[in-house]
Amino acid sequence: MRKAPLCRLVYVSRSALSGSAAENEREVMQILNASRRNNTRDGITGALLFSEDCFAQVLEGSRAAVEKVFERIQIDERHRGTVVLACDPAPAREFGEWAMAYVGREAAREAHYAQFTRENRAAIASQEVLGLLRGAIARTSAA
């Protein structure tokens, strides 16, 4: 049934959360809860990174589903300055087991908005984001 071609989107955005660390963490948990609920319904898998100043997210699914959820995320006031690093057909899901895996600030200390959005290196930055997320998730699963 799931034979619509797969598409993977990687973006970073600037966090607009302005509360204390604990408040922000709570807000992100709410995002995650909604994400997991909706993504399971929509056949989306992926991972979300939240660090000091930025979000980075991978979304996988049919192109239509990815576009739909991206548009919804796009107008969320909790972040801005979205830069799409990659949006490509993908042979298989990287995060197939995750309606939305999460990598928090401890595991993502090196992640900064400015670093991912430097000019002319979107392809590299998208690999960096994917690598970061893969690595962090592998570590937590192993632990």
Partner 1 sequence: MEGSLRPSARRSEERRCEACARPLWRGDTLTELADRAEFRARLEEALAFGRPAPLQPAPQELAVLLIDLDRFKGVNDNLGHAAGDALLRHVGVRLRSALRDADLAARLGGDEFAVLLEGLAGQEAVSRIAARLVDLLGRPYLIDGCIAHVGASIGIAFARPGSEAELVLRRADLALYKAKSDGRGRFHFFEQELEEAAEARRALEFDLRAALALGQFELFYQPQVDLAENCLAGFEALIRWRHPQRGLVPPDRFVPLAEELGLMDEIGEWVLREACTEAMRWPDALTVAVNVAVPQFASGTLVKKVATALSVSGLPSSRLELEVTESVLLSESRSAIGQLAALKALGVQVSLDDFGTGYSSFTQLRSFPFDRVKIDRAFADDPAVVRAIAALGTNLGMRTTVEGVETAEQMERVRGEGCTEAQGFLLSRPVPATEVAELIARLGERLAGIEEEARK
Ligand X SMILES: Cc1cc2nc3c(=O)[nH]c(=O)nc-3n(C[C@H](O)[C@H](O)[C@H](O)COP(=O)(O)O)c2cc1C
> Binding residues for ligand X, per CB under 6 A?
31, 34-35, 38-39, 48, 55, 57, 69, 72-73, 76, 78-79, 100
Residues in region 85-124 near partner 1 by CB under 8 A: 87-89
Q: Please identify, using beta-carbon distances, which residue of 23 and 88 lies nearer to partner 1.
A: 88
Is 42 a binding residue for partner 1 by CB under 8 A? The answer is: no
From residue 22, give the alpha-carbon distance in Å to each of 4, 13, 27, 69, 89.
40, 20, 9, 27, 37
Is 66 a binding residue for partner 1 by CB under 8 A? The answer is: yes
Which does residue 97 touch among partner 1, ligand X, none (CB within 5 to 8 A, set by kind)? none
Residue 142 CB, nearest approach to partner 1 (Å): 34
Is 63 a binding residue for partner 1 by CB under 8 A? The answer is: yes
Q: Which residues bind partner 1 (CB under 8 A)?
A: 7, 9, 63, 66-67, 70-71, 74-75, 80, 82-84, 87-89
